[in-house]
């Protein structure tokens, strides 16, 4: 099935958010703009808006992730939705119930949205393909495939610090091979029109077909960092490494760890990002992670507003023709 | 409108009110009133998109702007400004949003145009002009400069 059609409803509006791939630039801009407004909600005494009051959102996490699940839960609650956190390991699936049965049962309980994290690529698509008409599905990370909400909060952070995307050179450093975040970031950055995307890492951690995504591949960190505006460091995905990809973490840090000395090769106002959790002394030196150019904690802060925007967009149902203005 | 507001404020001993305009037309009107009344507190702006009661039917406004209140409104006197008062649902949404920022001491409502069609028990304290228009007609304020009102036929269904 066409992924674009699956994500959009009959009116061309976002229904599911499964991957950045195939989404139009204007839709991404709309999400970033909406997130800007949702950011101001945290400045209110009551840090909630009533937009999704009466809706029920289910966090279906088949893979452990405290931070991402918490951000989704907070985003849903700030939109006034009711939230269910399903502990899959202790749930019916471990008693033999299929994923589809679990989904059907939750839909029968009148749930309106599933936020899905799964270790298998395509799991969120599978659930979206079988979703009832009123249900939306958000991909919170599936295997090596995609992590589109993380990519959008990264784009939000870049826009917040750099403004326009067009003149930017962005470097993504580290374990590209196992990173669903990197794939989604590359799709988002190219859709938003950045001047140049570089991926930097050892040959063993960069997929051979990387160039087909329109990126420049570098194996030398120092060369790759020259004239860069944004440096995105990635976590080494030890849990997804099935073979010997690296001689040692120490050697990796020597070659690809970001230190203050290496950072001087980038533009003086370059920002440093990391989707977290960071491995200090492996991918990044503490002096850089905690330094003035680091925006890592800003990324965390932006996560809630961006997820609020995506949830709100996916839950809107436009009639045809549109109704009149409200006065 | 400015003179009527000044009289109201003086009559209620309100010395330093916070003026808040509702996007989009209400902000344009509020900018003029803020200037004419020489208010000290900077103008606030409110986008009620996240508080609309018809979100599930019409979706989210594609051009939502962040609401900006320049001061803590707890215990302050507010002048809420909009361009057209019709059903009252925008004002209901704006009141809900304001109270999520704090509990104001009072809220006055000023509108440029009051038209019929109220669906909620809401009325303005200061009105620029009152017009009677059919339910299928729509009053639109064009701006920001010059400000101009127009009457358009609306074929869109009632919310």
ipTM, two decimals: 0.84
Q: Do A44 and B68 touch (CB under 8 A)?
A: no
**Model pLDDT for residues B68-83, shown as the tens digit of each residue:** 999 999 999 999 999 9
Residues A276, A284: contact at Cβ < 8 Å?
Answer: no
Chain A hits for B59, CB-CB cut-off 8 Å, are: 13, 316-318
At A241 the pLDDT is 52
Would the pLDDT of B43 be above 90?
yes
Q: Do A324 and B159 touch (CB under 8 A)?
A: yes
Would the pLDDT of B25 be above 50?
yes
At A169 the pLDDT is 98
Name the residue facing B59 among A39, A44, A316 (closest C-beta): A316
Would the pLDDT of B104 be above 80?
yes
CA distance A13 to chain B (A): 10
Q: Do A50 and B58 touch (CB under 8 A)?
A: no
Mean pLDDT by 10 residues, chain A (327 residues): 72 92 94 92 90 94 87 96 84 68 89 93 93 94 92 97 96 92 96 97 90 93 96 79 65 91 96 91 93 94 95 76 53
Name the residue facing A327 among B65, B74, B84 (closest C-beta): B84
Model confidence band, residue B46 (pLDDT cutoffs 50, 70, 90):
very high
> What does chain A come to in residues?
327
Distance CA B153, CA B159 (A): 16
Where on the phi/psi map is residue B151: left (φ > 0), alpha (ψ -120 to 50), or beta?
Answer: beta
SS3 content of chain B, % helix, strand, coil (to 5): 25, 30, 45
Q: Do B51 and A50 touch (CB under 8 A)?
A: yes
Among residues A74, A92, A78, A16, the alpha carbon closest in space to that of A44 is found at A78
Which residues 138-157 of B are in CB contact (within 8 Å) with A? 138-139, 154, 156-157
CA distance B136 to chain A (A): 10
CA distance A141 to chain B (A): 25
**Residue B113: φ, ψ to 5°:** -130, 130
CA distance B69 to chain A (A): 10
**Model pLDDT for residues A223-255, shown as the tens digit of each residue:** 999 999 999 999 887 655 545 566 677 888 889
**Residue A219: φ, ψ to 5°:** -110, -5
Which residues 48-107 of B are in CB contact (within 8 Å) with A? 49-52, 54-60, 62-68, 74, 82, 84-87, 89-90, 93, 96-97, 99-102
Residues A174, A233: contact at Cβ < 8 Å?
Answer: yes
Model confidence band, residue B56 (pLDDT cutoffs 50, 70, 90):
confident
At A320 the pLDDT is 43
Chain A hits for B150, CB-CB cut-off 8 Å, are: none
pTM assigned to the model = 0.89
Axis crossing angle, helix A25-39 with helix A296-315, rounded to the nearest 10: 110
At A325 the pLDDT is 57
User: Pairing between strand B148-153 and B137-142?
Assistant: antiparallel
Q: Which ranges in chain B belong to alpha helices (H)?
A: 2-11, 25-36, 55-58, 89-101
At A3 the pLDDT is 47
Model confidence band, residue B61 (pLDDT cutoffs 50, 70, 90):
confident
Name the residue facing B156 among A41, A315, A321 (closest C-beta): A321
């Amino acid at each position: 099935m066409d992924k674009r059609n699956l994500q959009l409803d009959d009116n061309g509006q976002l229904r599911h958010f499964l991957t950045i791939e195939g989404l139009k630039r204007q839709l991404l801009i709309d999400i970033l703009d909406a997130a800007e407004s949702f950011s101001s909600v945290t400045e209110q005494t009551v840090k909630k808006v009533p937009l999704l009051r009466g809706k029920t959102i289910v966090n279906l996490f088949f893979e452990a992730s405290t931070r991402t699940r918490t951000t989704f839960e907070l985003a849903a609650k700030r939109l006034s939705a009711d939230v269910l956190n399903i502990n899959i390991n202790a749930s019916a699936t471990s008693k033999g119930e299929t994923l589809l049965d679990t989904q059907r049962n939750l839909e029968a309980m009148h749930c309106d949205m599933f936020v899905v994290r799964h270790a298998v690529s395509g799991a969120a698509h599978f659930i979206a393909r079988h979703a009832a008409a009123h249900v939306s599905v958000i991909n919170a990370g599936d295997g090596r495939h995609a992590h589109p909400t993380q990519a959008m909060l990264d784009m939000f952070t870049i826009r917040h610090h750099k403004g326009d995307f067009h003149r930017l050179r962005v470097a993504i450093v580290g374990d590209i091979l196992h990173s669903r975040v990197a794939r989604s970031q590359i799709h988002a950055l190219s859709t938003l029109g950045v001047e140049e995307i570089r991926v930097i890492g050892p040959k063993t951690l960069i997929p051979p077909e990387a160039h087909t995504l329109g990126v420049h591949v570098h194996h030398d960190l120092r060369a790759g960092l020259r004239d860069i505006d944004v440096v995105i460091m990635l976590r080494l995905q030890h849990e997804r490494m099935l073979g010997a990809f690296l001689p040692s973490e120490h050697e990796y840090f020597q070659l690809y760890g970001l230190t203050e000395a290496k950072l001087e090769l980038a533009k003086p106002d370059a920002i440093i990002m990391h989707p977290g959790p960071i491995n200090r002394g492996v991918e990044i030196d503490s002096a850089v992670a905690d330094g003035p150019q680091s925006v890592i904690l800003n990324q965390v802060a932006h996560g809630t507003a961006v997820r609020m925007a995506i949830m709100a967009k996916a839950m809107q149902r436009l009639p045809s023709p549109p109704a009149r203005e409200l006065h | 409108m400015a003179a009527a507001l000044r009289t109201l404020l003086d009559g209620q001993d309100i010395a330093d009110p916070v003026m808040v305009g509702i996007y989009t037309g209400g902000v344009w009107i509020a900018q003029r009133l803020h200037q004419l009344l020489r208010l000290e507190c900077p103008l606030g702006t409110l986008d009620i998109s996240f508080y609309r009661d018809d979100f599930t039917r019409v979706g989210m406004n594609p051009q939502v702007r962040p609401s900006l209140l320049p001061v803590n409104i707890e215990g302050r006197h507010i002048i809420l400004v909009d361009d057209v008062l019709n059903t009252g649902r925008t004002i209901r949404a704006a009141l809900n949003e304001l109270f999520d920022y704090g509990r104001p001491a009072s809220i006055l409502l000023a509108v440029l145009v009051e038209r019929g069609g109220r669906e909620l028990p809401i009325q303005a304290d200061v009105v620029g002009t009152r017009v009677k228009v059919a339910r299928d007609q729509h009053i639109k304020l064009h701006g920001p400069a010059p400000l101009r009102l127009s009457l358009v036929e609306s074929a869109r269904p009632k919310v």
